[in-house]
């Protein structure tokens, strides 16, 4: 069996994996510093390559059946870098044998991940692998899913929270690792949060070329997309106050592209597109203002709304601003009646910092001002270890 997802492939084991496993358990063992290190030191010391090879060869003679317990992890270029797996939990969230005869789909299962090739750490491979494995298990009817780690493994804690796992059990002082005491952590999958993660994972930011501005023109000529922009008391060439649409003839694409692209970190602009289809679905941007912070914008093309793309695009923009560029503060402002826009901003961690008034369609409107700081963003997403990285 093979499961392809973005840049990774999950597959059944093959004989060539045995040499990799032996290498990872004898000479290249850095991964074991993070996967249950309180027991791995002894396991590595007792590891017998010959016995392991024989056991694995015998296992390969029996074709796997049913829902897989373990799958090997490759890049799509064919590099074997680790594995994903699952194990059963009892009512106290401890490892247990699955009860004979029980419907496995009714039991609690924890998922695990090992990226044993250290060159592939922190490159998004773990996110893709665990996302694909959780999707697979859910498709097989396994709905009560967990993952476990220790409080010192901040990368795994961040990964769990990113996918939508929520902490449900903390056993204080459970683990002794390299002379320090850490808590044992159990996380349970929040299905709604995981679904939102999958939407985000299906999108990417794409810095456009000048010729890609055909899509920007399509959005700016669409009254449904530009309704938020209608009726403001402003005047500039190409603006249609009745619809909010803005003219963008092809003759203006090169100049607009030059103004938008290549000015980071003061200014950033990207289209949002689906990874699988390559279809554009919206745009995001930020730019520095005289007050010192950066203001942001997120627009989803009207025919693509209702799919969770607004929140997903905002999260991609936040990561680009706070993680990639280390910006200290972002703000956005819009009418308080835009409940959907407010909801996705609050969900992302923005807080209200003020209200101003403006004029729209000849009347007064109240405009909310919202703000999110880098410190709050990193803390909320379990990325506090990056606070001093920029």
Which domains does the chain show, CATH number per domain? Answer: 2-201 (3.40.630.30), 203-386 (3.40.630.30)
Structure tokens of 316?
A: 């991609």
Helix axes 191-201, 309-319, angle to 10 degrees: 70
Sheet containing 363-373: which strands, arranged edge to edge? 203-206, 267-274, 280-288, 294-300, 329-335, 363-373, 351-360
Tell me how far apart the alpha carbons of residues 286 and 288 are, in angstroms, rounded to a whole number. 7
Phi/psi of residue 36, each to 5°? 45, 55
CA distances from 134 to 152, 204, 271, 356 (A): 23, 21, 29, 45
Structure tokens of 225?
A: 């997309």
pLDDT of residue 103: 94
Low-confidence ranges of the chain (pLDDT < 50): 388-390
Query: Against a cut of 0.75, is the pTM above it?
Result: no
- The alpha carbon of residue 315 and the mean position of all alpha carbons in its chain are separated, in whole angstroms, by 8
pLDDT of residue 266: 96
pLDDT of residue 386: 56
pLDDT in tens, 40-71: 989 999 999 999 999 999 999 998 889 999 99
pLDDT of residue 384: 63
For residue 273, the cross-strand partners are: 204, 280
pLDDT of residue 381: 79
């Amino acid at each position: 069996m093979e499961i392809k997802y973005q840049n990774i492939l999950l597959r059944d084991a093959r004989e060539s994996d045995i040499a990799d496993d032996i290498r990872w358990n004898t000479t290249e063992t850095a991964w074991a510093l993070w996967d249950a290190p309180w027991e791995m030191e002894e396991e590595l010391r007792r590891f017998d390559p010959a016995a392991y090879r024989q056991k694995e060869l015998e296992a390969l003679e029996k074709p796997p059946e049913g829902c897989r317990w373990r799958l090997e992890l490759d890049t799509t270029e064919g590099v074997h870098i680790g594995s994903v797996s699952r194990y059963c939990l009892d009512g106290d969230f401890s490892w247990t044998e699955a009860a004979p005869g029980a419907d496995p789909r009714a039991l609690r299962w924890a998922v695990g991940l090992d990226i044993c090739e250290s060159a592939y750490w922190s490159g998004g491979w773990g996110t893709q692998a665990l996302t694909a494995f959780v999707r697979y298990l859910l498709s097989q009817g396994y709905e009560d899913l967990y993952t476990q780690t220790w409080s010192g493994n901040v990368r795994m804690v961040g990964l769990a929270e990113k996918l939508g796992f929520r902490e449900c059990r903390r056993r204080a002082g459970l683990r002794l690792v390299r002379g320090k005491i850490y808590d044992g952590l159990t996380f349970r999958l929040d299905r709604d949060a995981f679904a939102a993660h999958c939407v985000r994972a299906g999108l990417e930011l794409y810095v456009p070329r000048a010729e890609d501005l055909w899509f920007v023109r399509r959005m700016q000529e669409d009254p449904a997309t530009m309704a938020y922009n209608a009726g403001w008391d402003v005047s500039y060439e190409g603006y249609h106050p009745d619809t909010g649409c803005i003219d963008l003839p092809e003759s203006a694409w090169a100049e607009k592209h030059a103004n938008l692209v290549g000015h980071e970190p003061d200014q950033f602009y990207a289209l949002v597109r689906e990874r699988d289809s390559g279809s554009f679905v919206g745009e995001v941007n930020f730019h520095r203002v005289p007050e010192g912070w950066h203001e942001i914008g997120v627009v989803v093309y009207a025919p693509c709304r209702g799919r969770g793309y607004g929140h997903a695009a905002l999260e991609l923009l936040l990561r680009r601003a706070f993680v990639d560029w280390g910006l200290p503060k972002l703000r956005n402002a819009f009418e308080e009646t835009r409940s959907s826009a407010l909801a996705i901003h609050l969900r992302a961690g923005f807080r209200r910092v003020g209200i101003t008034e403006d004029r729209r369609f000849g009347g007064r409107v109240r405009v909310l001002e919202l703000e999110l700081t880098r410190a709050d963003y990193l803390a909320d997403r379990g990325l506090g270890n990056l606070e001093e990285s920029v």
